[in-house]
Structure 1
């Protein structure tokens, strides 16, 4: 028992140290696990022969991953994504497989071996790519959405790949495995429901197992989950989720099918269940831990002697695979009209092999499709291509993106052929509402925005606007800043908003400037620059939501409106003192100890004001409400005491 504790400690310690460092360096968690395995295995030698046995156990994390993938595949979402999912994703997997297979056959490999290698290298790293997209804010770009479609199709394609790979088994490897199996049969007997059955019997059993998963998941899962949820014990629901996944995996194994296939199918069946999110939250920690353990064992199992003796071949194959995938992706980006930097984002982000490559390699060796020696070399290729992925993103950030941003900036500003009483700088979600309100009331506006795509979107819905940088003096002059009455600043860039305020207030002091602030610090900076009226973009919406929250909690609507007004008035009283503390501070961080002390005093004053009973006066926003009965606050206080 002590040995198991020590081994578990070594694996967990390696993960705890390596993964945070890898993520901080932008390498991603998967590479962190691989590095941890390399360190404790080939480099230091803390783990050894037990790695293979642990890997078989950790592969259950893949089963859980495919169950979670199935849970995410709602039919409506798949239908909405059908063109990019089947078109872009399907062609990427298909073409990459065919090209890699052709190259492998040209190098003298058999077609079954070449096809298996093509399938393995057609996949990319979902974990690294999506994590990097989220960190860099690329998920909502056109390139990011297309890349997600390809990754989603790849995850789905793993299922038929797992079903196909056993059919590619090499006879010589099968014969050798049968000899080993006969020797092991004396000590261990594999459970099976289909052993010795005729073909038609095997087919019936398989169909029955799949039907049991589909029908049971659709009709029996909900009553089971409701029954378990009624107990109110989270650990029992977790046990139920694990029981479901393990049971389906065991059933698939008993009938000779892939456990991953069964759990994926169950996930799809449960995708529309009201318990889907609860299932995800319960399975996710186990999936993450087991997958991490799996990747550690992959790293620990890397044979550096294979790398050193074949370093030229490994590097050549790695670069060749990445070049092939990048070429296929670039051609597909042209066909599907992915434009600008998004085309290169799609191409570079998916050029590596992925974590499922390790899974398919292990599965291929188990099913006698790939010899162990070739699998070791291919594992190195997958790992190295993943190590190179952060470099591809750096290349995109430093070389590709600036080039296209420069081209975008080269677009000449539109010729402004009209002037108005109000100039609006920025026509995003905030500026649009301001502009619509003014135009609807007959106010002439001139709208400027330096995002070409946003201008095109506005013109598509008949909102007249001009492309150009509002901070440019010549453009403001053309827009008629000398004769305008108001300048509304609604641009997202905080520094540019402050600079524009300073310039206009200094050059055209008669112009009233109304500005949107991102937060309290931006609010102070705009005020210091000379803005006449500033509104924090989330202030009033947060007040409205907070007031509604109090009403939902049972506070009388009249009292809730009173508390809202009290909050506004109390903030207004301390507004000047807080601004002066911010302005007078010369430190780089203007929110110093003095400012924090004043803010804490505000919070204390706010708490005291909220406890007061107001019967003296009411704000206009309160007058539409029927007041609560006299002594209402005392009743509420008594109720709160009883609840405590």
Structure 2
């Protein structure tokens, strides 16, 4: 019979219960579940309700009394996270980021680490202890930053480059702290060199073996059409690569990243990414619960002032260093600021380095416990830092929007094009070809800056703000073109502008016929469904390729376009008529 102590069922109940309750509850209030998981860990952990099991044994089923029992699951969650990041990359993209990784990434870690080390040395720590603690606190959280920022945005690319260098530097940091230990001698340096040699050899074997074996292995799994076998093959690759790098003395997350990169080069990366996603999310939740378990709320309350001061000091240093280095590397102010604020808190790997520094005798147990709590507080605040970074970035960009080139100011009354992506640029090109004045508006500062460099008349602005729409002076415009890839915003803006300027031609981009009908009801003069135009272009290509003359083809395409637009308008008018009749009846009754 399974006993209460060795079954582990209660721990599974707490973890799965947290995943099932925390995520929906916090999503309902639009709060990051990261905070929820950490708070659950603090509540049900050994320093929370878990400490009361002796007085109330029934709490055993709802708490986790041994935080170390689930740490392997948390580590596996981080491994799966790095694996998924590798799946989103490619060797070409990684090579293109080398300057950011080994330039800005190295400067950020060393710069922030040395500044923090100097401040800690002045508080009385030994040189080795200050260096170890400074480097530990300079690390930022891959597990939280990447899911928040992604790897495709400007902020995500900058953050990922620095985080990647930190992950690669973790092993040299650990061995360097071992060499700084009071009891270490030449053996510490030799151990570091040996590990680096074995690590390089292991990585080379993984690259060569992976390129040869992985396509064949996943090909065989795909032929069986068994999702279970495909999942087993994916987990086998992740675990084998992680164990290989761990056996060589490197971090297992390096092996997971390499495994992801190798699979990303195969045609099976999409299926692997989809099939491992649920495990990554659950394991990441387990990791966050373990972070919360390190929070002793009684200790936090009793020492809130020094803990708050230490947390703020770490964040200020990291924000200043990261923002400054990104600005020097050419990043815009908004991106640099948002990235710096997002990466301000310490990392989950900070806890590893703190443990190594404590075991080496570089810092005392009390010091390690204090900074462990600081790290947990910082990780808890990471979603709030992300929101703050976005707010600061938006404020900075709004201040910079007034620096529009002279071409924007000279555009004069003409066509206003809101949304200056692929479709907006095409519209602007056609207007320029016919020497018609226009003004583009976009809420993405990267698009705006790029377009301005290429000679387009573009203004940065968020059209969800009424004051910006007022500044566009639509009453004097020739036409308004809406090309945003946001159906709800397009309809809302169409309705608002039509109420202000009844005679203004409004031409809107629609996703499909239903969206076009909705735009017509909102007051659009013309709504162009993407599905309609793509089908007409395809039909045109087919007719020309099968030998029909270009002239009749163009005429028939125009005729078909008019017919389909008429059908959409008639559908919107039929839908609008009952509502107009009902409104007139209510007005009559009220009168």
Q: Is the 8 A contact 1:159 1:260 kept in 2?
A: no
Q: CA deviation at 1:78?
A: 1.9
Instruction: Specify the alignment match of 1:116 in structure 2.
Output: 132
Q: Is the 8 A contact 1:101 1:115 kept in 2?
A: yes
Q: Which moved more, 1:223-232 or 1:151-160?
A: 151-160
Q: In 2 relative to 1, CA 321–238 (structure 1 residues): closer, same or farther, beyond 3 Å? A: same
Query: 1:88-127 alignment to 2 at 5 Å?
Result: 88-127=104-143
Structure 1 runs not aligned, ≥5 long: 176-197, 552-560, 588-644
State how far apart, in whole Å, the 2-side matches of 1:391 and 1:200 are.
41
Q: Which moved more, 1:1-10 or 1:493-502?
A: 493-502
State how far apart, in whole Å, the 1-side matches of 2:364 and 2:537 are.
63
User: Between Structure 1 and Structure 2, whose CA radius of gyration is higher?
Assistant: 1
Residue 377 (1) aligns with residue 374 (2)? no
Instruction: Specify the alignment match of 1:52 in structure 2.
Output: 68
Q: In 2 relative to 1, CA 372–543 (structure 1 residues): closer, same or farther, beyond 3 Å? A: farther
Instruction: Specify the alignment match of 1:331 in structure 2.
Output: 324
State how far apart, in whole Å, the 2-side matches of 1:126 and 1:207 are.
23
Residue 12 (1) aligns with residue 16 (2)? yes
Instruction: Specify the alignment match of 1:490 in structure 2.
Output: 482
Residue 345 (1) aligns with residue 338 (2)? yes
Aligned equivalent of 2:437, options 424, 446, 450: 446
State how far apart, in whole Å, the 2-side matches of 1:56 and 1:383 are.
18
Aligned equivalent of 2:576, options 565, 574, 579: 579
Q: Is the 8 A contact 1:70 1:267 kept in 2?
A: yes
Q: CA deviation at 1:381?
A: 0.8
Q: Is the 8 A contact 1:173 1:371 kept in 2?
A: no
Q: Is the 8 A contact 2:419 2:442 kept in 1?
A: no
State how far apart, in whole Å, the 2-side matches of 1:338 and 1:206 are.
33
Q: Is the 8 A contact 1:35 1:299 kept in 2?
A: yes
Q: Deviation per CA, 1:330-372, whole angstroms, max 9, x where unpaired?
A: 3224423444544432332222223343454456667776654
Q: CA deviation at 1:546?
A: 9.8
State how far apart, in whole Å, the 1-side matches of 2:192 and 2:436 are.
77
Instruction: Specify the alignment match of 1:278 in structure 2.
Output: 271
Q: Deviation per CA, 1:245-270, whole angstroms, max 9, x where unpaired?
A: 33334444555554334333444444
Q: Is the 8 A contact 1:18 1:35 kept in 2?
A: no
Q: In 2 relative to 1, CA 362–72 (structure 1 residues): closer, same or farther, beyond 3 Å? A: farther
Q: In 2 relative to 1, CA 212–370 (structure 1 residues): closer, same or farther, beyond 3 Å? A: farther
Q: In 2 relative to 1, CA 268–398 (structure 1 residues): closer, same or farther, beyond 3 Å? A: closer
Q: Deviation per CA, 1:88-112, whole angstroms, max 9, x where unpaired?
A: 3332222111111222222222333
Q: Deviation per CA, 1:264-296, whole angstroms, max 9, x where unpaired?
A: 344444442233333333433333323322321
State how far apart, in whole Å, the 2-side matches of 1:377 and 1:444 are.
67
TM-score using structure 2 length: 0.74
Q: Is the 8 A contact 1:501 1:530 kept in 2?
A: yes
Q: CA deviation at 1:314?
A: 1.7
State how far apart, in whole Å, the 1-side matches of 2:192 and 2:352 are.
29
State how far apart, in whole Å, the 2-side matches of 1:17 and 1:350 are.
28
Q: In 2 relative to 1, CA 305–157 (structure 1 residues): closer, same or farther, beyond 3 Å? A: same
Residue 159 (1) aligns with residue 168 (2)? yes
State how far apart, in whole Å, the 1-side matches of 2:161 and 2:448 are.
32
Q: CA deviation at 1:307?
A: 3.0
Instruction: Specify the alignment match of 1:638 in structure 2.
Output: none
Query: 1:183-202 alignment to 2 at 5 Å?
Result: none
Query: 1:357-368 alignment to 2 at 5 Å?
Result: 357-361=350-354
Q: CA deviation at 1:82?
A: 3.3
Q: In 2 relative to 1, CA 114–30 (structure 1 residues): closer, same or farther, beyond 3 Å? A: farther
Secondary structure, counterpart of 2:207 in structure 1: helix
State how far apart, in whole Å, the 1-side matches of 2:412 and 2:196 are.
77
Query: 1:591-630 alignment to 2 at 5 Å?
Result: none
Instruction: Specify the alignment match of 1:145 in structure 2.
Output: 154
Q: Is the 8 A contact 1:165 1:367 kept in 2?
A: no
Q: Deviation per CA, 1:531-581, whole angstroms, max 9, x where unpaired?
A: 5x3114534246459989x99xxxxxxxxx999999877656534212324
Secondary structure, counterpart of 2:69 in structure 1: helix
State how far apart, in whole Å, the 2-side matches of 1:466 and 1:84 are.
29
Secondary structure, counterpart of 2:225 in structure 1: coil
Query: 1:403-422 alignment to 2 at 5 Å?
Result: 404-405=397-398, 408=401
Q: CA deviation at 1:33?
A: 1.9
Instruction: Specify the alignment match of 1:32 in structure 2.
Output: 36
Q: Is the 8 A contact 1:124 1:151 kept in 2?
A: no
CA RMSD of aligned residues (A): 4.6
Q: Is the 8 A contact 1:330 1:347 kept in 2?
A: yes
State how far apart, in whole Å, the 1-side matches of 2:192 and 2:110 are.
31
State how far apart, in whole Å, the 1-side matches of 2:36 and 2:308 are.
21
Q: Is the 8 A contact 2:243 2:255 kept in 1?
A: no
State how far apart, in whole Å, the 2-side matches of 1:432 and 1:444 are.
15
Structure 2 runs not aligned, ≥5 long: 51-58, 185-190, 462-467, 544-556, 585-591
Instruction: Specify the alignment match of 2:526 in structure 1.
Output: 534
Instruction: Specify the alignment match of 2:238 in structure 1.
Output: 245
Q: Deviation per CA, 1:403-453, whole angstroms, max 9, x where unpaired?
A: 652563597996876889x7454472434433434554xx44121235596
TM-score using structure 1 length: 0.68
State how far apart, in whole Å, the 1-side matches of 2:317 and 2:35 are.
22
